[in-house]
Amino acid sequence: MLAITDVGRPTQPNLLQVADLNFWYDAHQARPETRALKDVGFSLERGAITAIVGESGSGKSTLINAILGLHSSRNHRLDARSLRFDDVDLTALSHRQWREIRGRRIGYIAQDASGSLNPLRRIGSQLEEVLVLHHPTLKRGTARKAALERLTHVGFDDPQRIFDSYPHQLSGGMNQRVAIAAALAGNPQLILADEPTSALDVSVQRQVLDHLTRAIKRSGVSLLLITHDLALAADRADRILVMKSGEIVENGPTRSVLSEPRHEYTKALIAAAPMLTDEVGTATTLSPAASPLLQVRDLSKTYGDRKGAAVSAFAKVSFDLHPRETLCIVGESGSGKTSLVRTLLQLTEADTGSVAFNGYAVGDLKGGDLKRFRRDAQMVYQNPYASLNSRHRISTILREPLAIHDIGTRSEQKEAARSLLSRVGLPESFLTRRPSQLSGGQRQRIAIARALITGPKLLVLDEAVSALDVSAQQAVLELLKELQESLGLTYLFITHNLAVARQFSDRVLVMREGRIVEHGATAQIFTSPQHPYTRQLLEAAPGFEASALVHGHH
């Protein structure tokens, strides 16, 4: 690939050169073991797309901040043998000099698309402001023209409407495209993109990344893409760097990193990215005579919105869920999947239709019968930070369901809590801890244990692994599978993540705007999707292109 560089600047062979970069958040505690970045070294080629892959806390954002000179703490300490951008030494710049670099030579795109623009100003005025800042010769009329032109470059067909809008009137994906245009306004040589699409829906994600790569290729800019998603990196990047606990553990061209990973951690990441593997959930063999545990018929629900108009959350939903089966409901945000499970569990009432659990109608349950149903049907929430009462100890949290249902004596309850804790793979010493002392994965295990302690038949998993890092995600999914087999559980799994659905479920139900658009066995949905929306979702999923690289189909 040919890189277009600015003529007139003395050019170094590499655009960015980092060597032995060490970073501490607190200069007073600067010891080798407290480093947030440990001897980080790499270089960026001109015009290439490089991805840094790592979990939260791996130091990838810290690295970006160091390159931009925007640190989150004041008394940090940064040591580097080399931290050089083109001809500039980034370790010794004044505030004024940094302003010459930022925007003009290095652009930046953040994860929070909707928060990337000032909510009180129109898109147009913000774009004009940044254009005039970097091109002082622009006059009023020409700045406007330039802004409209930049908007077309990031794929807007009606730039005038976008120009006149406020950020809250646009979707997250549209805001991110405006932010890309703003980052490119100063014609920088390098764009740093920190998880630019992680907060967006899958189909929007792909669209935004397409516009980003297109805009970058057009102007010959280099891109440093930060992501937690190896599959996404594999789709887009020429080169992949893997970071773990502040260190770069893998660095190589995408193809070789995927096909011959050297570091154990990279291998684990590849194994944990289901789109990159061949593994497809195999349907549990069901005897056709088995009566369904959950029978949903023509279920509909509407909400009144702020203006008082009726908005349909979901309509005419029907499906069966058989004992010991895992059914995945897949849909993007706003597809009605969460409203659906809340209705199934009688947290809200349905408008029409029926839900039968074990043969009895859930909608008619009152008082003691409803309480009995709660013992049999439990739920695990997405965010384990919010679903546990932070004031209670783990033992109190685990015993609470038994206390509510008046099961067993105090010591029996304690014994049950202890045995379930070891069942979900946590040591007994955790009983006296509070949720704030646990990691996300550990909290989710506690949430699972609490849901299981009354011995339910049905477990609803509402995005139960989406808030976790990839490695914790895998471990929790394996635990769930193991528990299902040994306890004979039935799972209703809600997710937006196709990769997880493919790996975890027996059957898949695709929802869109409150309706079921496709329904079938997992293998069938993933190999021969019937509905165009399902196909669109599949193609948008990260790793769709890269899977070929791993399996060497090319």
Partner 1 sequence: MTDAAVLPGSTPRRRWSSLSFPGLNFWLALAVIGLLLVCAVSPQLFATHDPLAIAVRGKLQPPSAGHWFGTDHLGRDVYSRLVYGTQNSLRATSIAVALGLVIGSLIGLVSGTAPQRVDSRIMRVVDVMLAIPNLLLSLAIVTALGFGLVPVAIAVGVGSIGSFARIMRSEVLRVQGATFVEATALLGASKGYVIFRHVLPHAMGPVLALATVEFGAAVLSVSSLSFLGFGAPPPEMEWGLLIAEGRKFINVGWWLILFPSLVIVGTVLTTNHLGRELERRHAGDH
Partner 2 sequence: MSTRASGQAASARPSRWTFARLRPVLTKKLLQAAFVAWASFTLTFAILYWLPGDPVSIMLGADAQVDPAAFAKIRAQYGFDRPLIIQYADALWRALHLDFGTSLVTGKSVTASIAEAAPVTAQLAFIALALSVILGTTLAVLSLDLPGFPRFGVIFSKIPSIFVAVPTFVVGLLLLQFFAFTLRWVPATGSDSWLTLVLPALTLAIPGAGLLGQVLSNSLHQTYSETFIRLMRSRGYSELRILGHALHNASLPAFTMAGLIVGGTLASSVVTETVFSRQGIGRLMQMGVTNKDINLVCGLIVFSALTYVVINLLVDLLYPLLDPRVEYRA
List contacts with partner 1 (CB under 8 A).
Answer: 55-58, 345, 347, 370-371, 374-375, 378-379, 381, 383, 385-391, 400-401, 404-405, 433-434, 436-442, 447, 450, 454, 467-469, 472
Helix H or strand E encompassing 43: strand 37-44
Which range binds partner 2 by CB under 8 A, 94-102, 145-153, 309-317, 329-337? 94-102
Which range binds partner 2 by CB under 8 A, 24-32, 51-59, 130-138, 226-234? 130-138
Residue 389 binding result from partner 2, partner 1, none, given CB thresholds of 5 to 8 Å by partner type: partner 1
Q: How far apart are CA 247 and CA 37, in angstroms?
A: 6
Q: Determine how many CB atoms are found less than 10 A away from the CB of residue 388.
A: 21
SS (HEC) of 85-114: ECCEECCCCCHHHHHHHECCCEEEECCCCC
Residue type, 431: L
Which range binds partner 2 by CB under 8 A, 103-111, 404-412, 421-429, 435-443? 103-111
Say if CB 179 and CB 210 are below 8 A apart.
Answer: no
Residue 383 binding result from partner 1, partner 2, none, given CB thresholds of 5 to 8 Å by partner type: partner 1
CB of 351 to partner 2, least distance (A): 24
Which range binds partner 2 by CB under 8 A, 110-118, 238-246, 284-292, 489-497? 110-118
Binding partner 2 (rule: CB under 8 A), the pick from 59, 124, 186, 353 is 186
CB of 276 to partner 1, least distance (A): 21
Residue type, 330: V
CB of 168 to partner 2, least distance (A): 5
Nearest to 211 by CA among 199, 197, 198: 197
CB of 117 to partner 2, least distance (A): 6
Residue 499 binding result from partner 1, partner 2, none, given CB thresholds of 5 to 8 Å by partner type: none
CB of 76 to partner 1, least distance (A): 17
Q: How far apart are CA 286 and CA 325, in angstroms?
A: 8
Binding partner 2 (rule: CB under 8 A), the pick from 19, 48, 57, 166 is 166
CB of 380 to partner 1, least distance (A): 9
Residue 75 binding result from partner 2, partner 1, none, given CB thresholds of 5 to 8 Å by partner type: none
Helix H or strand E encompassing 147: helix 140-153
147 vs 170 by CB, closer to partner 2: 170
CB of 96 to partner 2, least distance (A): 8
Binding partner 2 (rule: CB under 8 A), the pick from 27, 70, 347, 386 is 70
Q: Determine how many CB atoms are found less than 10 A away from the CB of residue 112.
A: 15
Please name every residue paired with 194 in a beta bridge, in sequence order, or none if there are none.
226
Residue 371 binding result from partner 2, partner 1, none, given CB thresholds of 5 to 8 Å by partner type: partner 1
Say how many residues touch partner 2, by CB under 8 A: 39
Q: How far apart are CA 254 and CA 233, in angstroms?
A: 8
Residue 9 binding result from partner 2, partner 1, none, given CB thresholds of 5 to 8 Å by partner type: none
Q: How far apart are CA 81 and CA 92, in angstroms?
A: 12
Say if CB 188 and CB 130 are below 8 A apart.
Answer: no
CA 97 to chain CA centroid, nearest Å: 35
- From residue 540, alpha-carbon distances to 241, 430, 468 in Å are 23, 41, 22
Q: Determine how many CB atoms are found less than 10 A away from the CB of residue 14.
A: 16
The encoded tokens of residue 232 equal: 């996404």
Q: How far apart are CA 397 and CA 416, in angstroms?
A: 12
CB of 300 to partner 1, least distance (A): 22
Decide: is 223 part of the binding site for partner 2 (CB under 8 A).
no
Binding partner 2 (rule: CB under 8 A), the pick from 123, 183, 362, 483 is 183
462 vs 506 by CB, closer to partner 1: 462
Please name every residue paired with 520 in a beta bridge, in sequence order, or none if there are none.
508
Decide: is 317 part of the binding site for partner 2 (CB under 8 A).
no
Q: DSSP secondary-structure letter at 299?
A: E
Strand residues in 157-277 grouped as ranges (E): 190-194, 222-227, 239-244, 247-253
Radius of gyration of the chain (CA): 26
Decide: is 120 part of the binding site for partner 2 (CB under 8 A).
yes
Q: How far apart are CA 150 and CA 135, in angstroms?
A: 14
Strand residues in 186-338 grouped as ranges (E): 190-194, 222-227, 239-244, 247-253, 294-304, 310-321, 326-330
Binding partner 2 (rule: CB under 8 A), the pick from 18, 21, 53, 117 is 117
Range list of H helices, 308-464: 337-344, 367-376, 394-404, 410-423, 440-452
Residue 119 binding result from partner 2, partner 1, none, given CB thresholds of 5 to 8 Å by partner type: partner 2
Say if CB 195 and CB 203 are below 8 A apart.
Answer: no
Say if CB 458 and CB 378 are below 8 A apart.
Answer: yes
Decide: is 165 part of the binding site for partner 2 (CB under 8 A).
yes
Decide: is 99 part of the binding site for partner 2 (CB under 8 A).
yes
Residue 434 binding result from partner 2, partner 1, none, given CB thresholds of 5 to 8 Å by partner type: partner 1
Give me the 145-164 binding string for partner 2, x by CB under 8 A, dash otherwise. -------------------x
Q: Can you spell out the DSSP letters for 481-523?
A: HHHHHHHT-EEEEEES-HHHHHHH-SEEEEEETTEEEEEEEHH
Residue 485 binding result from partner 2, partner 1, none, given CB thresholds of 5 to 8 Å by partner type: none
CB of 542 to partner 2, least distance (A): 23
Binding partner 2 (rule: CB under 8 A), the pick from 133, 146, 268, 280 is 133
Binding partner 2 (rule: CB under 8 A), the pick from 171, 436, 437, 528 is 171
Binding partner 2 (rule: CB under 8 A), the pick from 16, 37, 132, 179 is 179
CB of 165 to partner 2, least distance (A): 8
Burial classification of residue 356, based on how many CB atoms lie within 10 Å of its CB (0-12 exposed, 13-18 middle, 19 or more buried): middle
Residue 81 binding result from partner 1, partner 2, none, given CB thresholds of 5 to 8 Å by partner type: none
Binding interface with partner 2 (CB under 8 A): 68, 70, 95, 99-104, 106-108, 110, 112, 115-122, 130, 133-134, 164-166, 168-171, 174, 179, 182-183, 185-186, 306
